[in-house]
Amino acid sequence: MRRNFTLALSALMAVSIAATTATAAYAQRGPGGDQGGGEDDAAKRKKRDEEWNQPKAPLQQLRNAGPCPFVKVLYDASRYVEFKDAKESAGQAGFTGEIQSLASGCAYKGDEPIKIRIEALFQLGKGPQAQGDKHVYRYWVAVTERNQAVIAKEYFDLPVSFPVGQDRTYATETIEQITIPRADAKVSGGNFEVLIGFDVTPEMAAFNRDGKRFRVQAGQVQPGTSTKQ
């Protein structure tokens, strides 16, 4: 499905996010709602990446007039964790999600617009309080002037079906083209950022911001050691 988004900034500039989201999903058994915290998480992630051949480097770059825009996950929206009755414990977890990795590439020359392509890997889980085997996650892609205001933002639905008997799956979303016009040849990609995140509630954002994670074995929220991106 092709989706287009255009926001006029001035007579000379507009940003377009034209996304063809190609989703590849992979199922894997695992503790429902576990969003990390185990001692062997790094080893499991490395093994999973090797098994599924997940991208570890940016997409192939073309010859550009300058650097590509920064592409990153917004820390406050990097995870999606539902809790029944607002009780932060593994036993109360519903549907969960985490943006595991990003790969991106861009192309531009002269005074032509910057064109960006992004692949995002999502890890999606189903906790003990999740109802049913299907859930529609929602995420967004935003273009900003670096460390400043948002220029354009678009939301996308990510429908997921969990195979019977499995409570974890992976999905790869491809944003085929984000176009950023440039006023002239002196404007480089380094002036812009592209951010990605889940559509989260204020409570979910606070949970992420505090770096909280939980161990399924303990069923309790514990402070994380992650730093903000």
27-31, 114-118, 222-226: least confident range = 222-226
pLDDT digits (tens, 9 = 90+) for 127-167: 999 999 999 999 999 999 987 889 999 999 999 999 888 89
Beta strand pairing status for 70-73 and 192-198? parallel
Closest CA to 169 of 20, 24, 21: 24
Burial of residue 229, with CB atoms counted within 10 A of its CB: 0-12 exposed, 13-18 middle, 19 or more buried: exposed
What is the distance of C-alpha 104 from the center of its chain? 12
- Of 175, 118, 180, which is closest to residue 146 (Cα–Cα)? 180
Q: How confident is the model at residue 224 (pLDDT cuts 50, 70, 90)?
A: very low
pLDDT beyond 60 at 27: no
Strands 93-107 and 2-8, by their bridges, are unpaired
Extract the tokens encoding 133. Answer: 């085997």
Predicted pLDDT at 25 = 56
Quick check: helix, strand or coil at residue 92?
helix
Q: Name the nearest CA neighbour of 114 among 103, 104, 122, 124.
A: 104
Spans of all domains in the chain: 2-36+65-223
What's residue 12's pLDDT?
33
pLDDT tier at 87, thresholds 50, 70, 90: confident
**pLDDT over 70 at 38, yes or no:** no
As a whole number of angstroms, the distance between CA 108 and CA 110 comes to: 7
pLDDT digits (tens, 9 = 90+) for 48-60: 555 444 444 445 5
